[in-house]
Structure 1
Amino acid sequence: MKKRNARELAMDLLVAIEEKQAYSNLLLNTWIDKYKLEQKDAALLTELVYGTIQRKLTLDYYLSHFLEKKKKISNWVIQLLRISLYQMVYLDRIPDRAVLYEAVEIAKKRGHKGIAALVNGVLRNIQRKGLPTIKDIQDPIERTAVKTSAPKWLVERLASQYGFETAENILSSQLLHAKQTARVNKLKTTVPQAIAALEKEGIKAVKGKLVDEAIEAVKGNLANTSLYQKGWFTIQDESSMLVSLALHVKEGEQILDACAAPGGKSTHIAELLNNTGKVVSLDLHEHKIQLIEKQASRLGLLNVNAKVLDSRNASEHFPPNSFDKILVDAPCSGFGVIRKKPEIKYTKTEEDILSLTSVQKKILASVADLVKPGGLLVYSTCTIDKQENEEMIKYFLKEHDDFQLDETLKDRMPEKVRQYVENGFVQILPQYFNTDGFFIAALRRKVQ
């Protein structure tokens, strides 16, 4: 396959992400493999794609001062201007002259002289006049929306739920680069052994900040190692690892993971069970069940039983009191993982949240009777939206008086997290530990 320029690839990828409503992380990995990019080009492509999506509304605000409003400009040209401006504003290592040269060459190749002249004119104008000041925007909601590149409705919603300052901190922290962390499989190795072995493969890793079995990559990609293939670890965010700890897993237990794909939490539970008991992992789609089975096999886990099943119908397939513990890692708006899936900011709507809360309620209602009396039901989401989190738990407890918040959750959380545990739930905001935003609630079924 003909070698492709990283900047031109970034432009095409951004067009594809917008037009197909695709997830940036999935498409990016596919294209890096497809075009067999060298490490340096793959790193630049990743930086340009993630950075440009993360800062899209800020870049558009800057560009709007240099583009004629009436002009209809093709999507690929807008993307080219965005990635070029992103490099000029946010990347120190690339000189402006190199950015301009590349942009004009791509414009000539993909369009005509008029487009090349437009691209050259806009970028040189910005270079000459400088950028407009965001501080000049009078309305604080609009100013924060432009500054953090978030839709106004999302700024307003978070400000109403958390207060203006916390909302701004949430959205600003989501602009930072995501760390790559992994959960070490203690059935195969230890954290120190994994770190030492990774060093031999040219990967610098350190102990995680929150969870005992976590490591963090400082240099290199953990997923591209032979140790990953051997099942020594699973790529997972540290705040996501907290979910399985909340279940207080004990050997021999029967545990249901009601919304299990792609299997990170199911396999964590299976490891905590020490390959005893059983984890029943449900998902709607056959191909996702295969993902879970593949992960379990890679990790050497024999106690994962993955089934294609809509968890809203779980009560029709399992008798009451079937499980010691149940995890509902519910489908959600995903506003806690914007660092890794930045397009979520622009594609999700308030209507989506309403329809998601309806699904969340149905799943919880379906699995509630499957928990043994005295057992635990853990509800988690990778969002920071209170309607999907605290409000959902209040609703569930009102409908199910045989459950109560489990106040011992705090004891199961790592020391650094305990300050954020309130009653039986914890909301991790992304700025706390530079992790994903996560909500976890532990509910105990009363013994009648």
Structure 2
Amino acid sequence: MDRPASDALPPLPAAFTALLDAVIPAEHRPMVEASYVEPKDVVVRHNPLHGTPLALAERALGALGAEPLPGVEGVWRVPAAARAALTHHPLVGQGALAIQGAASQAAVWALDPKPGEEILDLAAAPGGKTALIAARMGNRGRIAAVEPLRARFFRLKANLQRLGVTCAQLYLKDGTQVGRLVPQRFERVLLDAPCSSEAQFTRLDPASWAHWSPRKVRASAALQARLLRSAVQALKPGGVLVYSTCSLSPEENELVLDALLRQRDDLALEALPWPCPLPAVAGLGAWQGRPLHPDLRLARRVLPSRWTDAFFIARLRKAG
């Protein structure tokens, strides 16, 4: 069945369109607009913890028309038309393949975990990033995976078991309290913070923004600030913290970090060590006429495209 023409689809909320006007450079706007009116390609990765050989995964995905992402081994882009076939593929059900967006994976690429380290995943459910951290560590070391909501906690547990993660210890706990309980404990911390979920928007389904509002953005930012302070407290001197959201709003991204950087002089942003080129732009240097911390230009806002979702990623180093 043909998709409806874009002018026949419901428009995005006016406040969100104004946000796009403010944060998306003009040269990228056609790509971003198109991403809201067409099904996206699916990104999937090989899970080395499962034991299925990479070559077998390559053959299975080749039959679905998959193309490898440049610069990163074992990650492919599958055409949108093959989404259902991929979702129901036995290798996905078994955990040999994991469907995971490129921007979501990029948060772990930025964290750059190493075998033997002790790592905190402060908002871990549903577990995709936790599992990728474990894969990068070869299940050697320890991951403390924290989730405060019971239903999401058990979903996290089930997903990690299916994906063969054995180095994670799970905690049903409020992440804002973790830094106080275990100060300066972890060599790396990932905070993929709860957010207003702007990455989910599509004009093909108006329900995707039914619960979004500027008020929700502000509420998300307040929680993110508390979680970020906890993450910094839990990080060892010399350690790396990655802060990410699936939001485009500066209130949830640059402004949260700007407040933190102006409160502490032991934190600095670093360039992101990404192996794969993503459609992204630098963090903002100012917002609504207000200058922001100059380090924020090192952050990246991943743009919505045919194969990527909206995302924001920043990597910070705590002074030794």
**Poorly superposed stretches of 4+, deviation over 6 Å:** none
* CA shift digits 1:119-166 (9 cap, x unpaired): xxxxxxxxxxxxxxx7xxxxxxxxxxx877112122123323346675
Structure with a larger share of its residues in strand? 2
**Structure 1: stretches of 5+ with no match in the other structure:** 1-43, 52-85, 91-133, 135-145
Q: Match of 1:383, SS?
A: coil
Q: Match of 1:279, SS?
A: strand
**Aligned equivalent of 2:19:** 157
The amino acid across from 1:213 in the alignment is: G
Shift in alpha-carbon separation, 1:440–1:272, aligned structure 2, 3 A: same
Structure 1 position 414, deviation (Å) = 2.1
1:321 to 184, 189, 200: 184
1:207 to 68, 78, 82: 68
**Aligned equivalent of 1:430:** 304
**More off after superposition, 364-373 vs 260-269:** 364-373
8 A Cα contact 1:195 1:204, kept in partner = no
Aligned residues: 302
**Structure 2: stretches of 5+ with no match in the other structure:** 284-296
**Aligned equivalent of 1:180:** 42
Report the TM-score, using the length of structure 1 for normalisation: 0.62
Higher relative contact order (CA 8 A, sep 6+): 2
Instruction: Work out the CA distance in 1 between the residues paired with 2:310 and 2:194.
Output: 14
Shift in alpha-carbon separation, 1:418–1:404, aligned structure 2, 3 A: farther
Shift in alpha-carbon separation, 1:147–1:287, aligned structure 2, 3 A: closer
Shift in alpha-carbon separation, 1:400–1:418, aligned structure 2, 3 A: farther
Task: Please tell me whether Structure 1 or Structure 2 has the larger radius of gyration of its CA atoms.
Answer: 1
Instruction: Work out the CA distance in 2 between the residues paired with 1:204 and 1:167.
Output: 28
Shift in alpha-carbon separation, 1:418–1:176, aligned structure 2, 3 A: closer
Report the TM-score, using the length of structure 2 for normalisation: 0.85
8 A Cα contact 1:195 1:206, kept in partner = no
Shift in alpha-carbon separation, 1:211–1:390, aligned structure 2, 3 A: farther
Instruction: Work out the CA distance in 2 between the residues paired with 1:242 and 1:341.
Output: 26
Instruction: Work out the CA distance in 2 between the residues paired with 1:164 and 1:197.
Output: 39
Shift in alpha-carbon separation, 1:234–1:363, aligned structure 2, 3 A: same
Shift in alpha-carbon separation, 1:168–1:195, aligned structure 2, 3 A: closer
Shift in alpha-carbon separation, 1:289–1:395, aligned structure 2, 3 A: same
Q: Match of 2:199, SS?
A: coil
> Please, what is the CA RMSD of the aligned residues?
2.7
Matched, 1:263 2:136: no
The amino acid across from 1:295 in the alignment is: N
Instruction: Work out the CA distance in 2 between the residues paired with 1:166 and 1:206.
Output: 23
Matched, 1:286 2:150: yes
**Aligned equivalent of 1:439:** 312
Shift in alpha-carbon separation, 1:349–1:165, aligned structure 2, 3 A: farther
Q: Match of 1:343, SS?
A: helix
Instruction: Work out the CA distance in 1 between the residues paired with 2:205 and 2:119.
Output: 29
**Aligned equivalent of 1:80:** none
**Aligned equivalent of 1:310:** 174
Structure 1 position 242, deviation (Å) = 0.5
Q: Match of 2:252, SS?
A: coil
